[in-house]
Amino acid sequence: MIIYTHNDCFKKFNGQGHPERKERLESIISSIKSSNLKVDFKDAPLADLETISLVHPKEHIEQIFSNIPKEGIIGVEKEPYADTLLCSNSKNAILRSCGAGISAANDLINKNEIAFCAVRPPGHHAETVRANGFCFINNIAVSARYLQKQFEVNKIAIIDFDVHHGNGTQEIFYKDQSVAYGSSHEFPLFPGTGAENETGVGNIFNATLKAGLTSKDFFKIFDQKVLRPIDKFKPEVILISAGFDAHKKDPLANINLESKDFFKITKNIVDIAKIHSKGRVISFLEGGYDLQALSESIIEHLNGLKSHI
Ligand SMILES: [Zn+2]
C-alpha cells in the first residue's frame, strides 16, 4: 500500500485555533510510522491545471490562486463561513492534495496498487466553482474524472463516511449516472445539504445520521442506505472520502463511533470492491479533528484497506 503525502501539505496555515491544522497530518503520519503496517511513502506530485479542469474551470482555480496573500491569511467566503482560508503557502498544498489522487489513480490501474492520500487541504466540500468548508479543489472528483478519461473506467463509486455531507462531490456528479455517490453524515449539520430526497439521477445515496447516534445504529443505516445501493451499482473502482470526524471524540460533530469502527466501515467497503471492482480502491483524507482519535482511527482504516488482497 502507498501513502501519498508531501511536506507542502504541512505548510498550509489556517490561523491559531483553526481545527484544520498541520498537527492532524503529523498525528496520522507518526501513527503510521510507529505501526507495523507495511507501506511505501511517496511524495504527492503537483496536479496540473489541465487535469484539474476535468472538474473545475481553469478561471475558477486561477481566481483562487490570485487571491493568495503574500503574508497573513484571507478568507475565500463571506460570513458565516469565513473559515476557508488561504495563506502564502496554500498553492502547493492545494495542488499536491489533488496530485496525490491523480498519481494514486495511475498506480491503481497500472500497478494494481492501492493508496491512501494523507493530504490537506481536504476536498469533498469543493463545488465546481465554489471553494468552501476548508476545501478548494475536489480531490476525489478530479481523481474520478481522471480515471474515466485516462483509463476508460466507466462506473465509479465514491463512498464518503466523513461526518459532514460532501456537498461538492454531490454537486459535481448530481446528473451523472456514471458516478454513484454514497454518503453518511450527521444531519442537520454543516454544510446543510445531503437530505435523503436528494437523489440526483438515481446515483446519489444520502444516509442522514441523528446527533448522538451510536456505532450499532450507524452500521445498520450505513449498510442499508450506502453499501447496498453501491453494491447494486457494481462500480469498477471505489474511491473513499475518509473523514474521521464521526468519532465520538471529534469536536466538530456529535456521532459516537469508536476508533475500531473505522476498520469495519473500511472492510465493508473493500468487500464490495472485491466483488465488483477487483479490489480497486483509493482513499482520500477528508476531515477528522481530534488528534488522538485520528491517530487510532487511521490505523484501523489502513488495516481495513489492506484486507483488499
Ligand atoms: Zn468533516
Radius of gyration of the chain (CA): 17
The whole-angstrom separation of Cα 47 and Cα 45 is 6
Cell numbers of 154, please? 466507466
309 has pLDDT over 70: no
Distance between Cα 14 and ligand 1 center (Å): 16
The model's pLDDT over 63-116, given as tens digits with 9 standing for 90+, comes to 999 999 999 999 998 766 689 999 999 999 999 999 999 999 999 999 999 999
Pick the closest to residue 94 from 42, 136, 144 (CA basis): 136
Ligand 1 centroid distance, CA of 133 (Å): 8
Q: How far is the CA of 110 from the centre of ligand 1 (A)?
A: 31
Percent of the chain with pLDDT over 90: 97
Is 125 designated active site?
A: yes
Cell numbers for 5, please give them: 503525502
- Residue 143 CB contacts under 8 Å (≥ 6 apart), including other chains: 101, 102, 104, 105, 239, 282, 284
Cis peptide before 80 (omega within 30 of 0): yes
- Of 6, 60, 124, 125, the active-site residue reads 125
Backbone angles phi, psi at 195, to 5 degrees: -65, 155
Q: How far is the CA of 245 from the centre of ligand 1 (A)?
A: 6
The pLDDT value given to residue 77 = 86
Q: Which stretches within the chain are classed as H helix? A: 22-33, 49-52, 58-66, 90-111, 139-151, 167-173, 215-222, 228-233, 261-276, 291-306
What lies within 8 Å, CB to CB, of 74 at 6+ separation is 67, 85, 86
214 with 221: CB under 8 angstroms?
no
Per-residue pLDDT band for 308 (boundaries 50, 70, 90) equals low
Q: Could you give phi then psi for residue 53, rounded to 5 degrees? A: -75, 0
Please provide the average confidence, as pLDDT, over all residues in the chain: 97
DSSP summary character for residue 226: I
pLDDT(307) > 90: no
Q: pTM of the prediction?
A: 0.98
Instruction: Please identify every residue whose CB atom is under 5 Å from ligand 1, which is an ion.
Output: 162, 164, 243, 245, 287
Helix (H) or strand (E) segment spanning residue 31: helix 22-33
Instruction: Please report the pLDDT score of residue 78 as a whole number.
Output: 75
Q: How far is the CA of 89 from the centre of ligand 1 (A)?
A: 23
pLDDT digits (tens, 9 = 90+) for 258-275: 999 999 999 999 999 999
How many angstroms does the Cα of residue 88 sit away from the middle of ligand 1? 24
* Residue 258: Cβ within 10 Å count: 17
pLDDT of residue 82: 81
Q: Comparing C-alpha atoms, which of 255, 246, 240, 241 is closest to residue 288?
A: 246
Q: Residue 144: which residues within 8 A CB-CB, separation 6 or more? A: 156, 158, 173, 179, 239
CA distance 5 to 193: 30
Under DSSP, is residue 293 helix (H, G, I), strand (E, B) or coil?
Answer: helix
pLDDT of residue 18: 96
What local confidence, expressed as pLDDT, does residue 80 receive? 64
Strand-strand pairing, 2-5 and 115-117: parallel
How remote is the CA of residue 300 from the centroid of ligand 1, in Å? 18
CA distances from 192 to 13, 52, 187, 205 (A): 26, 26, 7, 16
- CA 181 vs. chain centroid, Å, equals 12
d(CA 144, CA 179): 8
**Ligand 1 center–CA 152 separation, angstroms:** 30
Contact, 37 vs 306, CB < 8 A? yes
pLDDT, one tens digit per residue, over 164-211 is 999 999 999 999 999 999 999 999 999 999 999 999 999 999 999 999
